[in-house]
Structure 1
Amino acid sequence: MIKKLASKFFKFYCHPDYWVDISGDLDEIYGYNVKTRKKYPQLRYFIQVLQLFRPSLMRPITENSIIHSNHTIMLKNYFNVAFRSLLKNRLYSFINIFGLAIGLAAFLMINHFVAFEKSYENHVADKENIYRVQLDVYQNGELVYKSSENYPGAGPAMLEDFPEVISSAKLYNMGSKNNVIITSENGEQNPQVLKHRRFLYAEAAFLPMFSVPMIQGDAATALEKPHTIVISESMAKKYFGNENPMGKLLRLEDDDFNNELCTVTGVFQDVPESTHLKFDVLISFNTLYTRDTDGSGWAKRRYGNGWRRKDFYTYVQLKPTADPKKLESQFPALVDKYNPENKERNRKDVLSLQPLKDIHLYSQLTDEAEVNGNGDGVFYISIIAYFILIIAWVNYINLSTARSFDRGREVGLRKVMGSYRSSLIAQFLVESLVINGLAMLLAFAIIFITGNLFHNLSGTPLSYVIWTQSWFWIMVAGVVLMGSLLSGIYPAFVISSFKPAQVLHGKLKTSSGGVALRKALVIFQFAMSVALIVGTATVFDQMEYMQSKDLGFDMEQTIVVERPPKQDTSREVRSNRVKSFKTGLKQRSEIISVAGSTLLPGKKLRFKTPIRTNLQSQDEALPLSIAGIDFDFAESMNMEVIAGRAFSEEMRDDLDSLVILTENSSRALGFEKPEDAIGKRIEIERFRWSPSVVGVIADYHQESLKEEKPKTLIYLSGSNSEYFMIKVNMDQSTQAIASIEEQWHRSFPGNPFHYFFLDEYFNSYYESERQFKDLFATFSILAIIVGCLGLFGLSSFTAIQRAREIAIRKVLGSSILNIIQLLSKEFLILVGSATLIVWPVSYYLMDQWLDNYPYRIDIGWTSFIYSGLVVLTVTAITISYQTLKSATANPVDALNHE
């Protein structure tokens, strides 16, 4: 038996240069050659071990039988042995490589998503020194709003007063405030007319500050003159095809009766997806000043250096040596200097600098140009990436230490043949490197196969690739090397420390070494799995709550159409056209109702003003949002009137003097009950208007549940409605859309038709939460799969090791159920312990996450019980195959094998 074992060892694990012939008489070996014994003293230990068994099987080993090799041959031998070991133990090799591959693929995909989210504004050359000026407005000591927009005079004042500011650029986001169409006017028979959202008025300094790459035109001068326009490359192709766009004419028209003919002075490359400020069209900011047709200078005051209107983005570029915090400390004096009226109105403006790189992930201000990302979500997803990777590495450590007995005999024979511990450690680290390397290659294959699915799940654009970036390959190499070291170092040191005599005597088999560590690692990885399940359940519950909670209005079956950009200057004509549009639609059977308003659910209310009752002083005025609706809005949107009444046609003669309050605004104005507000007069000093309250409606969510319900005063908008809310029969939605379009062109000729569904628009503000939910759930499932792969390997190896015990138990009368309980009990106890340990930690972490939402769920025990049941069930299923196989095996086979 010893001859067979030793021969197998040498032929399988050693390079041919190290093969030796083992047969003959031990006495001959021991006395054969004194020189050999002195040169290779380690042979004495090998001989002593073999002498314990069958010394007569040995024959002399000569000095020439042992051949030294250089380091290259040794390294080649390490890799050969590693691959032979993988092929010999195919099941455990598959579990190790596939588990690591899933972990690595998940890790790389998450880093792809995180890298994209953090890549915003990387295309801007001096991004570290560019800041957006944020404005926080307080009225009577109460925060009114935190805005991304500012006074037009803020940037020029900073540029003049602070030497640290080297450049300033302001923008007017007209695309979000008005309905805008731009028409090609170059004598075309059928000019191109396009509706624009990604459209800004921009100062000349904007293009150089934001490093906008120009295809044609000069970035420094393209926007200097009034009535000049620069467009994106894709927009140039839409308007002019293959013709040269330079010098061509484009006409802007909007629903504020603006009509401006501009000359194309530049074409820029399409802005990347990784920016918070997406635009296709820029018009010179100086064009705004030409709206002053009466010569009174109002346009310059409003758009130039004024401190009244607060709807302009302001970006400043600082010197590299500037201290932003020190500069911010001078802003209060700046506001007092240029806006001294604030103190008289008991108002306070707080300016601050917002780093350009922070806007996408960490800014949720009023009037953002785009729906921003979620910095906390990106952080939590990053944590999951490392969780999955650690779980995969833990699997490797578990399986390697569990197989220590099988490798122990190999180590024992290697040691008596002269292998140093350092070479054994190197051997096992090389094996770990091979497994991690193969796993990384398989991970790339998984990413390639599932790439499109991942892009759809995460919202990462296909145009964003990380394969061409050097940091990615450095990360890949680092993960492989670190994984090889972390997952291989412990097994290498443990297995290489075995004593040859104990190993070959079989004592290692009954040793308890490594068992405690394996149990701890199993508890650790399944504790993380339970935490991820609890987190996923909580995220799903919160998202379900946010999307199913009563919003205070009914947005289902609602199509939204914005008012036409081309408007007649006559109020009477506009009113008649709106009436014609609504009347025509109401006659259609597929249309349920039509209502107009200045508010769009899901969009922030832009305007707030101090309001008080006629019994309150000016100091007691509170900032309330103001919105307009028409007669049919409250009924059409199913808004609840809790006191008084809604607007109606019967009140037409008095409507200019009547308003409606939301419940929270009536309470803020000092009315204990909604009924107390009815008939009371409201003072709106800014408009010199004193209307009476005709009704109070229940609070509603103007925005998503990430924001508080607004305190709102509602007036009658009439023909000035900005949006038409059209309730349709969804069974006839296609016919309804066709009817709306037909009536639109009939009532508003010359205006392009566009529509969207209200629920889709409203839920778009949950996009970052949806991405977070989907990514969290997907990668949590992958983490559990990786953990289960390791558990399957451990249960399989445990069953093989205990085959003789199982056979004896069966012979003595144990049932199959007893055997299954025996093999399953230990794993189920470990997983159950992990569940109980991690529950309090999970509760604390998810409770902290939920505190970010003003409207949130209460964490119940359902999620925890559910997570425990899921993990225990998955564990039972994972180990059931091997346990059932072992329990039903013929005991004779196991005993014969032993």
Structure 2
Amino acid sequence: MYLHFVKMAFRNQLKNKLFSLVNILGLALGIAVSVLIINYVSFEFSFDRMHSKGDRIYRVESQFYEGDQLTDDWGTSSFGYGKAIADELSGVEDYVRIGVQNPEQTVIYHEKRLRETGIAYTGPSFFSVFDFKLKEGNLNDQLTRPNTIVITESAARNFFPNENPIGKLLTFASGSNFQECEVTGVLEDFPLNSHVRFNYLISYATLPDWMREFWLLHEAYTYLLLAPGKNPQDIEAGFPAVADKYRPTDVLSNKTWAAKLTPLTDIHLTPQKQYERETKGNRRSLYTLIVIAIVILLTAWINYINLTTARSMERAKDVGVRKVSGAHRIQLIRQYLAESWLVNLTAVVFAVLLIFLLKPLFDDLTGESIGFFIFHEPVFWLTSVAILLLGVFLSGFYPAFVMTQVKPAIILKGNYFNSGSAGMMRRVLVVFQFAAALFLICGTFIVYKQVRFMQRQELGVNINQTIVLKFPVSRENVNDAVARFAENLREEQAFSSVTVTDAVPGMEVAFYASNRLQGAPVDQYRLYEMMSVDYDFFNTFKLEMVAGRSFQRGFGNEPSNLLVNEAALPLLGIPTADEAIGKMVLLEGEAEAVKIIGVVKNWHQRGLSNGYTPIMFILNGRLGWVPLKYIALKTSSADYDTAIQLIKDRWNVYFPQASFDYFFLDQFFDNQYKADRRFGRIVSVFTGLAFLISMLGLWALAAFTASKKVKEVGVRKVLGANKHHIFYLFSREILLLILVALLIATPVSIWVMNNWLANFAFRTEISYWIYAVGGLLTILVALATISWQSWRAAVRNPVEALRYE
């Protein structure tokens, strides 16, 4: 009996090959795209779930409160947090610290010199807390002795392609500091879905004694392994008392030092914090992609349902005869479900082919090459089977239910198609399709509008025609050598300005100090970003002064002076920029106060996702713990090749043993919007696919409707209807449904997109013309989709339709 249902299903699909093809292709495309999206989303949600103790591992993150107000929130902790928490609070089974205070250094082996960025300092507990696998070396001997290092397989292949790395010496150079480390182990490359990813792990004991438990340098990631059943909130509650015991009493005494314990598996998808160096995912964007995948799959199923119910008239008499002949309702339902099985399984086969064909394009779109991650997850196969069963049921049961509800007498009289029993649900489903498509289209417009707004917004800083060099390494005094190098280039006509600094626009000023006005109470200490600059910094980047002046040569004791930006004034308690001039500021760790000589207009130091931050400027060398890192050169023309060659020639004279590394500042700054642009591209591509599937179904529906309205059109033309009336006959219902869909999609889209825009400190406004344009675009595409069928019906000779009447 079941074989009979399959045969009948196969025959029914072959009767109308065009509609069967539309159904299968639409479902295959929907399934393929949905699988690719879910594969990517699953990968993002899988971060840091490979550790056997992962449910008990938490990262300690620094928070500072003034009363109940959170003033600072950092992803890192100080070097002293881990040991103090383990010693003072119960329930901590183990801990590990990963120092990231100097992640970029030049690595040297014989004649090979490479500037590497994945460098960190950690201890032997790294292997007891985490489950990262050691490929070579004795596990008990790793990271226990000073000047030892564990490297990854990739680093080993890079420096030791044809020799055993164990026992070899690598030299790590930063500025004038050169340090040799013995390779004692080779670590398996970190998984792509791990937020902990370093190529070089230097033993924690290599750090200077003063730094290992230092509480004022928050440049370490600290991870706690809690005892089973331990509540992390107990650690958070007990930390302020620990901080009061260990921190220096005169530093930030007005603030409550707090700790936030973030579960290891949540780190990747929590919002980016200050001091965090890893590239994080966006939970809201992933939820958006899940919604898009569901919409695409539902759209494909809706096409199937609509076409099946629309074709119901074609099969109505068959159903009527079978019911009169004694066929039970369950038999008719089985028949429709068999057809749904056939279509869905065929679509799955085609979807598998599409997945392999589209995977490279999808990887290029997302910027991630993750393979078929979900194919290794049993839950994926269980979920897929469940979704397939749901799809078969939804796309098969409803048409069967509609057909078996109608009385045989109505069917056999030929009045079923006009009875409206199937039409209302079909209209509801079409409205859903268009509402979803309009929601995605308008959302795409707003995403691109925000990205364009960020890219075109006045930054308040000039980053054009700027080449930035990374600081060299030199065994002599590197700062003096860089000063001579910069002065030499200032004499060249190819450069209008040259400046040496610790940070350039586009990056976080990652050095903080607790400062206050001289004479202000001790509880007025606030945290400020400290930026080390030279005399040419403000001129190079064309920063505007709102009061006072910048640092100038020839003014005498300029190292005793200070500049601040406008964002620093409220924290200092100074109402206006003019009133700031001449005020004295006590810097953390400094005995003598410095004088404010200028106030700089706020500018976007980082992308527009971030607000203005309070910054203080000191001359290079004034604070020894703020290292210089960059040399920025403003070119006089756009002939970058000549400029770079000139720079490189001079570089080789001053720093013959240092690698030459540079970047263009405008490109570097624009890279901050890379994730937003990628998200916009992803949404737009999948919006287009969802829209395409909707239009494919609409086209097939229009074609089938046209075939059933042949006689009606013939009669109307005989009675005097012209082509415009016929076109209106076909399009009026679609126009009405699109307008209803627009009314539904608009308020939902506005609410969702306002929440998305709230993530940006500086954002565009939602323009309501977007929804008008989105609706108009949808109408035009829909009319274009059905116009061919309308035109064929309008120009057809009515005699052909009525010759047998």
| 1:705–1:440 Cα change, 3 Å | same
Pairwise mapping of residues 288-303 of structure 1 onto structure 2 (< 5 A)?
A: 288=207, 291=208, 299=209, 301-303=210-212
* Bigger Cα displacement from structure 2, 245-254 vs 604-613: 604-613
2:658 maps to 1:788: no
2:488 maps to 1:584: yes
Structure 1 equivalent of residue 161 of structure 2: 241
Structure 2 equivalent of residue 626 of structure 1: 530
| Conservation of the 8 A alpha-carbon contact between 1:116 and 1:464 | no
* Bigger Cα displacement from structure 2, 485-494 vs 579-588: 579-588
| Conservation of the 8 A alpha-carbon contact between 1:175 and 1:196 | no
Structure 2 equivalent of residue 676 of structure 1: 579
| Cα distance in 2 between the residues matched to 1:354 and 1:582 | 44
Of 729, 737, 741, the match for 2:648: 741
| 1:567–1:773 Cα change, 3 Å | farther
Of 761, 768, 782, the match for 1:854: 761
| Cα distance in 2 between the residues matched to 1:873 and 1:84 | 36
Alpha-carbon deviation of 1:135? 0.7
5+ unaligned residues in a row in structure 2: which ranges? Answer: none
| Conservation of the 8 A alpha-carbon contact between 2:251 and 2:514 | no
1:144-197, Cα deviation, whole Å (9 max, x unpaired) = 421122122221222233442111101111443xx412222xxxxx53222221
| Cα distance in 2 between the residues matched to 1:203 and 1:669 | 40
| Cα distance in 2 between the residues matched to 1:475 and 1:771 | 28
1:231-257, Cα deviation, whole Å (9 max, x unpaired) = 1112112212221111111122212x4
Of 108, 111, 114, the match for 1:183: 108
| Conservation of the 8 A alpha-carbon contact between 2:252 and 2:526 | no
2:771 maps to 1:864: yes
| 1:618–1:330 Cα change, 3 Å | closer
| Conservation of the 8 A alpha-carbon contact between 2:79 and 2:99 | no
Structure 1 equivalent of residue 453 of structure 2: 545
Structure 2 equivalent of residue 339 of structure 1: 247
2:192 corresponds to which letter in structure 1? E
Alpha-carbon deviation of 1:588? 4.3
| Conservation of the 8 A alpha-carbon contact between 2:254 and 2:524 | no
| Conservation of the 8 A alpha-carbon contact between 1:407 and 1:495 | no
| Conservation of the 8 A alpha-carbon contact between 2:89 and 2:238 | no
2:65 maps to 1:156: no
Of 98, 123, 127, the match for 1:207: 127
Partner SS, residue 803 of structure 2 = helix
5+ unaligned residues in a row in structure 1: which ranges? Answer: 1-73, 185-189, 292-298
| Cα distance in 2 between the residues matched to 1:200 and 1:736 | 34
| Cα distance in 2 between the residues matched to 1:101 and 1:241 | 46
1:85-113, Cα deviation, whole Å (9 max, x unpaired) = 11211121122112222221221111011
1:173 corresponds to which letter in structure 2? V
Pairwise mapping of residues 507-526 of structure 1 onto structure 2 (< 5 A)?
A: 507-526=415-434
* Bigger Cα displacement from structure 2, 408-417 vs 374-383: 408-417
RMSD: 2.2
| Conservation of the 8 A alpha-carbon contact between 1:371 and 1:765 | no
| Cα distance in 2 between the residues matched to 1:812 and 1:473 | 59
| Cα distance in 2 between the residues matched to 1:667 and 1:156 | 36
| Cα distance in 2 between the residues matched to 1:559 and 1:136 | 36
| 1:375–1:236 Cα change, 3 Å | same
| Cα distance in 2 between the residues matched to 1:307 and 1:622 | 17
Pairwise mapping of residues 181-580 of structure 1 onto structure 2 (< 5 A)?
A: 181-184=106-109, 190-255=110-175, 257-288=176-207, 291=208, 299=209, 301-303=210-212, 305-339=213-247, 341=249, 345-463=253-371, 465-569=373-477, 574-575=479-480, 577-580=481-484
Partner SS, residue 547 of structure 2 = strand
In the superposition, the TM-score normalised over structure 1's length comes to: 0.86
| 1:729–1:807 Cα change, 3 Å | farther
2:726 corresponds to which letter in structure 1? I
Partner SS, residue 329 of structure 1 = helix
Alpha-carbon deviation of 1:864? 1.3
* Bigger Cα displacement from structure 2, 336-345 vs 438-447: 336-345
- Greater C-alpha Rg: 1
Of 752, 757, 761, the match for 2:664: 757
Alpha-carbon deviation of 1:730? 6.9
| Cα distance in 2 between the residues matched to 1:138 and 1:568 | 43
| Cα distance in 1 between the residues matched to 2:451 and 2:252 | 44
Of 777, 780, 792, the match for 2:684: 777
Aligned length: 801
| Conservation of the 8 A alpha-carbon contact between 1:141 and 1:347 | no
2:312 corresponds to which letter in structure 1? S
| Conservation of the 8 A alpha-carbon contact between 1:526 and 1:787 | yes
| 1:175–1:424 Cα change, 3 Å | farther
1:356-384, Cα deviation, whole Å (9 max, x unpaired) = 11111114112113121111111111111
1:53-102, Cα deviation, whole Å (9 max, x unpaired) = xxxxxxxxxxxxxxxxxxxxx22222222222112111211221122222
| Cα distance in 1 between the residues matched to 2:7 and 2:637 | 67
| Cα distance in 2 between the residues matched to 1:464 and 1:506 | 51
| Conservation of the 8 A alpha-carbon contact between 2:178 and 2:475 | no
Alpha-carbon deviation of 1:207? 2.3
Alpha-carbon deviation of 1:333? 2.7
| Conservation of the 8 A alpha-carbon contact between 2:167 and 2:183 | yes
Pairwise mapping of residues 817-836 of structure 1 onto structure 2 (< 5 A)?
A: 817-836=724-743
Partner SS, residue 374 of structure 2 = coil
2:779 maps to 1:882: no
| Conservation of the 8 A alpha-carbon contact between 1:807 and 1:895 | yes
2:614 maps to 1:689: no
Alpha-carbon deviation of 1:673? 3.0
| 1:464–1:166 Cα change, 3 Å | farther
Alpha-carbon deviation of 1:524? 1.4
| Cα distance in 1 between the residues matched to 2:45 and 2:462 | 37
Of 604, 607, 623, the match for 2:511: 607
Alpha-carbon deviation of 1:682? 2.5
1:738-797, Cα deviation, whole Å (9 max, x unpaired) = 222222121222111111222333333333323321111111111111111121122222
Aligned identity (percent) is: 35
In the superposition, the TM-score normalised over structure 2's length comes to: 0.95
